[in-house]
């Protein structure tokens, strides 16, 4: 009886995978990422060496950023609404906190065709788990170069630090964690506000099948963020917004922006003289 049950479960899983991947031949990419975080870290650092980190200079002490997560192109209605708000309003940069595509090349191309170039509107992209499916890292790297980097915003009086991390495999890995520690240790005191963007959400705020970081790694990160006064950590992955406070660090999980999500929203992040505030904006 037990053998029969296991066989039925295996058949069910295979059926789900096949129905989800119909029209695609690379099923291994749907089941797991075909690359590794250490490889992506090495490739990102090589790209960073010849491509300097970006600095956005603003004329006021106050400025705005617009953030989205889990767009999952395919469909583009919500994505285009987000872009319209970002281009037409007083927004300094667009940030996509992972899972903006499914990993398929055609979806990367669809997403990128609508994305404004950097000179028109600065934009920063992170890998989520879905960017890596169907051998998607090669498309991410070809289009965007690096998945581990930082950028800064220079106001008339201060600089703010924004760190973009690759958690697409569910872990930062040893090399990326060491890079992050060194960056905070050597440079955090040079900046006013420090914000970290990563895809996989740290806290399990509801019953869900989505993954969370490894516990030991999470404890190291929480301690690191408290020690070096990280003001805000912005994540996605879970598709449902959540707000947590631990010490002086605020942790935000964003709603998804996918067209089929009923609660779809994006985040307006406001840097003001007094600090950072934020507002969730629904698209329905």
State pLDDT tens for residues 188-224: 999 999 999 999 999 887 777 677 777 899 999 999 9
Q: Are residues 100 and 184 in the same domain?
A: yes
Whether residue 246 contacts residue 222, with contact meaning beta carbons closer than 8 Å, is answered with yes
Q: Do 131 and 180 share a domain, yes or no?
A: yes
> Number of structural domains, the chain?
2
66 and 25 inside one domain: no
Same-domain pairing of 130 and 1: no
Asked whether residue 205 falls in the same domain as residue 240, the answer is yes
Say yes or no: 19 and 84 in one domain.
no
Same structural domain, 9 and 55: no
In this structure, the answer to whether residues 9 and 39 fall within a common structural domain is no
pLDDT (0 to 100) of residue 223: 97
pLDDT tens figures, 1-59: 554 444 444 444 444 443 344 333 333 333 344 459 999 999 999 999 999 999 999 99
Local structure of 165: helix, strand or coil: coil
Other CB atoms within a 10 A radius of the CB of residue 125 amount to 24
Give the mean pLDDT of 70-88: 96
Judge if 116 and 218 occupy the same domain.
yes
Residues 17 and 82 in one domain: no
Please enumerate in sequence order all residues whose Cβ is within 8 A of that of 33, keeping only pairs 6 or more positions apart, or say none.
129, 132, 133, 137, 168, 169
Residues 9 and 66 in one domain: no
pTM of the predicted structure, to 2 decimals: 0.88
Asked whether residue 104 falls in the same domain as residue 150, the answer is yes
Residue 9, domain extent: 1-30
CB atoms within 10 A of CB 76: 17
């Amino acid at each position: 009886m037990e053998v029969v049950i296991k066989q039925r479960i295996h058949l069910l899983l295979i059926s789900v995978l096949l129905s989800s991947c119909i029209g695609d031949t690379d099923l291994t990419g749907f089941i797991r990422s075909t690359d590794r975080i250490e490889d992506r870290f090495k490739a990102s650092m090589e790209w960073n060496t010849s491509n300097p980190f970006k600095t956005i200079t603003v004329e006021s002490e106050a400025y705005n950023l617009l953030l989205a997560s889990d767009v999952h192109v395919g469909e583009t209605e919500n994505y285009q609404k987000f872009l319209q708000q970002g281009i037409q309003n007083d927004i300094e940069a667009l940030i996509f906190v992972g899972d903006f595509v499914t990993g398929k090349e055609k979806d990367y191309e669809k997403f990128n065709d609508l994305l404004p170039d950097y000179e028109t509107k600065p934009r920063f992209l992170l890998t989520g788990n879905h960017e890596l499916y169907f051998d998607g890292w090669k498309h991410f790297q070809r289009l965007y170069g690096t998945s581990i980097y930082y950028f800064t915003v220079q106001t008339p009086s201060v600089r703010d630090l924004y760190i973009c991390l690759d958690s697409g495999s569910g872990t930062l890995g040893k090399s990326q964690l060491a890079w992050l520690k060194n960056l905070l240790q050597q440079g955090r005191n040079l900046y006013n506000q420090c914000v970290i963007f990563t895809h996989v959400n740290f806290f399990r705020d509801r019953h869900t099948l989505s993954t969370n970081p490894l516990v030991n790694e999470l404890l190291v990160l929480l301690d690191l963020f408290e020690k070096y006064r990280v003001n805000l950590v912005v994540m996605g992955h879970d598709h449902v917004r959540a707000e947590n406070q631990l010490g002086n660090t605020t942790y935000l999980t964003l709603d998804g922006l996918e067209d089929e999500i009923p609660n779809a929203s994006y985040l307006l992040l406001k840097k003001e003289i007094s600090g950072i505030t934020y507002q969730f904006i629904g698209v329905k």
